[in-house]
Amino acid sequence: MRIDQILIYPLKSGSSHSVAEAVVHPWGLDGDRRWAVVDEHGDNLWLGEFPRLASVAARPTSEGGLRLTARGMADVTVPPATGAMTPVGFTGLDRAVLADDVAHAWFTELLGRPARLVWLDDPGRRSIDPAHGGLPGEVVSFAWDAPLLLVSESSARVLDGWLAEEAATHGEDAPGPLSRLRFRPSVIVEGAEAFAEDGWREVRIGSVPFRVSELCDRCAVTTIDPETQVKGKEPLRTLARHRKWDGKTWFGARLVPREPGRIRVGDPVSVR
């Protein structure tokens, strides 16, 4: 088994970019989800409610700021965040740093409602929710519930087959392979048996050890096409038929680093 792809999401709910290697910190991959969009009260503006966020390509600048691009919007460069601390409504985190006003105006225009960009200055301040498998001292960026999310390509291929069967049942055109980006993975692994990850407790990528904190329950974000931002019924409709228990649908596994290090595409992956 090996790592097939590594993905970084500089902006929570924004698009990803693929990298050949990444530094692993206790809170996640270097540069991953240190920025987030909130409303005027500091509550997260969620991709499931605001699909257009998926169209945003956010790329860090050499100065520590952010370059933002999206369809139908003028590109903007946001300087490093040096604003005041502002209250935010993330589990395990009560405040973050306000970005420049140019970013607030840009996201307000994009979403058609008041919005602000915030920066997580120190990810060591945000603890992982114990309700999602967090242990004392474990921390996370603006990512949901765990520093990394692992998806198995073998499991995704089985899901593709289920989707085709489900479409035939409903008299619909057969879909092509589902974009793995719908699941917003940090790493995609190749070579495991389908859904073997259900039983993993420890994962080692190259020389970096991880703990599996929990399997990943899936939400409406997976129903948004990352290219078009159009919502549909899949894959939740099909996952509910094949992968539903405890009232939730499941796909992928959440990982917590046990040690810092570096991972690379092609690295061997071992599990127990």
8 Å CB contact between 117 and 14: no
Residue 161 lies in a domain: no
Distances (CA, A) of 213 to 4, 13, 40, 85: 22, 22, 32, 30
Q: Which amino acid is it at 213? A: S
Confidence bin at 246 (pLDDT 50/70/90): very high
Residue 71 lies in a domain: yes
Residue 213 lies in a domain: no
Whether the per-residue pLDDT at 174 is higher than 90: the answer is no
Residue 75 lies in a domain: yes
| 180-196: average pLDDT | 98
* Interval 210-237: pLDDT, tens: 999 999 999 999 999 999 999 999 999 9
Residue 3 lies in a domain: no
Amino acid 188: pLDDT:
98
Q: How many domains does the structure of the chain reveal?
A: 1
Nearest 5°: CA angle at 157, between 155 and 162? Answer: 95
Residue 137 lies in a domain: no
Residue 250 lies in a domain: no
pTM: 0.96
Chain centre distance of CA 192? 22
| 195-207: average pLDDT | 98
Q: Which domain holds residue 75?
A: 34-125
